[in-house]
Amino acid sequence: MNVEEAIRTRRSIGKVKDEPVPRELLERMLEAAVWAPNHHQTEPWKFVVMTGEGRKTLGRAYAEIASGHSPNLSEQERAELHKREEAKANRAPVVIAVVCSPSEAPRVSRAEEFAAANSAVQNLLLSAHASGLGAVWRSGDPMYHPAMKSAFGLQPQEELVGLVYVGYPDLQPPEGKRIPAASKTIWIEA
């Protein structure tokens, strides 16, 4: 698959089979991720790969965050909430937490560090697709919660930029459509 085909045919695949993904494919994806462009060659990314029981780290963080938003629940309601929230970590056999670990060098822009980490996620997604895997980039308020940072042992300056759920697709990817680039492009020429 060439790069243009990968870009045009990649879709977010949120429904995957509960089958293990070979470590070699995951390592290939991670290797593709680290080749993302980054200003000043800072390589501001880290990855936490969770499989099997390792996904409980994420599940516990989801449950802790949800409990904090619902302090007046009965014991039974709290147990049910925890079970639902913990199950989110098991939506795929592999979850990769992508972390931006920005350089503190004075000439380095924090915004550029996050742009580079987001580019690494795109490379990760394209590599998964080219390998026949399905993946979806998830974020949302829980990802930015201090409990999530604590669960992954992040430093104060570090932030999660995505939770990438990976597995073998269990759905037919939807047809893609985009507004043509020509309608969103302004040319400034001499």
Instruction: Extract the annotated binding site for FMN.
Output: 10-12, 39, 137-139
Q: Are 45 and 96 in contact (CB under 8 A)?
A: no
Element (H, E) at 97: strand 94-100
Burial class (CB in 10 A: 0-12, 13-18, 19+), 117: buried
Would you put residue 58 in left (φ > 0), alpha (ψ -120 to 50) or beta? Answer: alpha
Residues making up the binding site: 10-12, 39, 137-139
Q: Are 46 and 102 in contact (CB under 8 A)?
A: no
Q: Work out the end-to-end distance of the chain between its first and last CA atoms, rounded to an integer number of angstroms.
A: 37
**What sign for the dihedral angle of Cα 12, 16, 20, 22?**
negative
d(CA 165, CA 160): 14
d(CA 23, CA 25): 5
